[in-house]
Amino acid sequence: MRQPTGGMHILLSPLRFVRSRFAEYYQKHPSAIQPPSAIERREFGFVLFKEKIMARHKSFKNAESLRSFLKAVVPLDVYYSSARYEKPEEKMEDKGRTGTDLIFDIDADHIPTPCRKDHDRWICSSCGAIGKGATPGKCSSCGEQKFQEETWFCEICLDSAKTETMKLIDFLMRDLGFSSEEIEVSFSGHRGYHICVESEEVQTLDQMARREIVEYILGIGLETEFHGLGERSEERSRILFGPGLDGSGWRGRIARGVYELLLSATPEELQQIGLRKKVASNLTEHRELLLESWKGKGPWGVTKDVGFESWKKIARHGAEKQSAKIDTVVTTDIHRLIRLSNTLHGKTGLRKIEVPITGIEQFDPLERAVAFKEGSATVVVSYAPQFKLGNGTYGPYQGETIELPMAAALLLLCKGRAKMVE
């Protein structure tokens, strides 16, 4: 969820075509647009096709006036504020904030996935060299540092974002105590998921409190000693102890993270987290024994050659895997604008849609977010990796003219990878 700044989303020529498709959508499905709760207290913002700038500080009395606005204006992107205000149309200082929903953003962009090298590429702005994967600091052929980046998103990216989302939901329900009815999960229409809690208790949390919640979920500042990992001496020997698998909050998470690590890690991986060679091989040699020990008090102190400091490293690493990779800025910003559900995403032509918590594992964003299910269009594609959309698979394309189903054509047009045939 980048804070929208306007800017060039799409090439000039397909603009008119995209706009009329968007117009058609808002015309045909007005009732799909469900306003946020307390609509009259929210600030709205829009990126407009024409100026490509963000128009902010708008407000609406009810769903009807919002819908007619969308029909008449046809924005590229539609946002509303996570905050509620007494006067949403005033300048920021005069709005009179009365509360803010607790929101989270999980963006595949922040998760290093292996598929990057298959679908992302960079082009050097000075010599034109092209490379795959993450953009380098310096061009390998001419040494310049300016690039044009072409990123894509695929099922693997979206799956990893979904995994993080499920971890977050677990934090929200088990640790913070929200019920599943209080948590609203959506696919953003591009690379990630938004999670929103509107309950009364969160409305007045200040920025510092939100930061503490963020750090709790990311495990920032976590010290395993506060969660039951320790040692004491007893009759001339040192006794190690640690949290159990069913412990509450971070205790159980640390234990489960350690369990997973011991289950699968190779000696090399264990060395990578800072363990000495002897310790690492000792751990893998006794793998069976260690995993068995969870039936009792856990693996802490089961083998003599693994000391307290080593267990601390293992526990910290286990904890790291249990954290949910949320964006820190979005949650702490109490004036944030968020995309409105069921509106179209200007960079993809897909809808932002709600995801049922119980069915999230089976949820296929690339099928469910398709807004245009009929018609087709012929476009000239500059470059696109192979991608899946709806129930079809398309590409890869490189400088070709092709007729595509409407949703696929719009995706390429919005992503700036295609133009219309004149």
Partner 1 sequence: MKIGDLASPEYKSVLDRAEDRIEETILFGAVTGQSDKDEVEIPSFPIAVMMVATIGVSFLKRRYALAEARRASNLLRNEREDKITLIANNFNWKIDSVEDPTNSLTYDFTLHYTDFLRNATGFHDKKWKLVNKRMSNGEVCLTKNDVVRLLEEEIRRYIEGKLDTDVGSLPETLMNRVNRLKRLLREKRGEARPLEPSKEVLINAFPPCIRELHGTITSGRNISHIGRFTLTSFLINIGMATEDVVNLFRSLPDFNERLTRYQVEHIAGGRGSRTKYVPPRCDTLRTHGVCPSMDDVCRKVYRPLAYYRRKLRVAQRSTSEEET
- Residue ranges that bind partner 1, judged by CB under 8 A: 174-178, 201-202, 204-206, 208-209, 211-213, 215-216, 219-223, 226-227, 248-251
Binding mask 102-121 for Zn ion (x = CB under 5 A): -------------x------
Q: Decide which of Zn ion, partner 1, none touches 213; Cβ closer than 5 to 8 Å per partner kind.
A: partner 1
Of the candidate spans 46-54, 65-73, 148-156, 370-378, the one that interacts with Zn ion by CB under 5 A turns out to be 148-156
Task: Indicate whether 123 belongs to the interface with Zn ion (CB under 5 A).
Answer: no
Exactly one of 92, 130, 142, 239 binds Zn ion (CB under 5 A); that residue is 142
CB of 134 to Zn ion, least distance (A): 12
CB of 27 to partner 1, least distance (A): 42
Q: DSSP for 55-97, please give it.
A: EEEE--SSHHHHHHHHHHH--SEEEEESEEESSTTS-GGGS-E
The Cα 294–Cα 324 span in angstroms is 24
* Residue spans of alpha helices (H) in 140-249: 155-170, 200-203, 207-218
Q: Decide which of Zn ion, partner 1, none touches 381; Cβ closer than 5 to 8 Å per partner kind.
A: none
The Cα 184–Cα 12 span in angstroms is 36
Q: What one-character DSSP code corresponds to residue 351?
A: B
Residue 144 or residue 305: which is nearer to Zn ion going by CB? 144
Exactly one of 39, 74, 139, 337 binds Zn ion (CB under 5 A); that residue is 139
Amino acid in the structure at residue 155: E
Burial label for 7, CB within 10 Å (0-12, 13-18, 19+), is exposed
Q: Decide which of Zn ion, partner 1, none touches 142; Cβ closer than 5 to 8 Å per partner kind.
A: Zn ion
381 alpha carbon, distance to own chain's centre: 28
Of 258, 260, 238, 256, give the one whose Cα is nearest residue 248. Answer: 256
Q: Decide which of partner 1, Zn ion, none touches 124; Cβ closer than 5 to 8 Å per partner kind.
A: Zn ion
Of 186, 190, 189, give the one whose Cα is nearest residue 169. Answer: 186
Q: Are 287 and 262 in contact (CB under 8 A)?
A: yes
CB of 20 to partner 1, least distance (A): 41
Residue 106 or residue 202: which is nearer to Zn ion going by CB? 106
CB of 43 to partner 1, least distance (A): 19
419 alpha carbon, distance to own chain's centre: 29
Exactly one of 54, 103, 154, 222 binds Zn ion (CB under 5 A); that residue is 154
Q: Decide which of Zn ion, partner 1, none touches 223; Cβ closer than 5 to 8 Å per partner kind.
A: partner 1
Q: Decide which of Zn ion, partner 1, none touches 215; Cβ closer than 5 to 8 Å per partner kind.
A: partner 1
Contacts of 106 by beta carbon, 8 Å cutoff, 6+ apart = 161, 164, 165, 168, 192, 193, 194, 195, 324, 325, 326, 327
CB of 332 to partner 1, least distance (A): 11
- Which stretches of the chain bind Zn ion, using CB under 5 A? 115, 124, 127, 129, 139, 141-142, 144, 154, 156-157
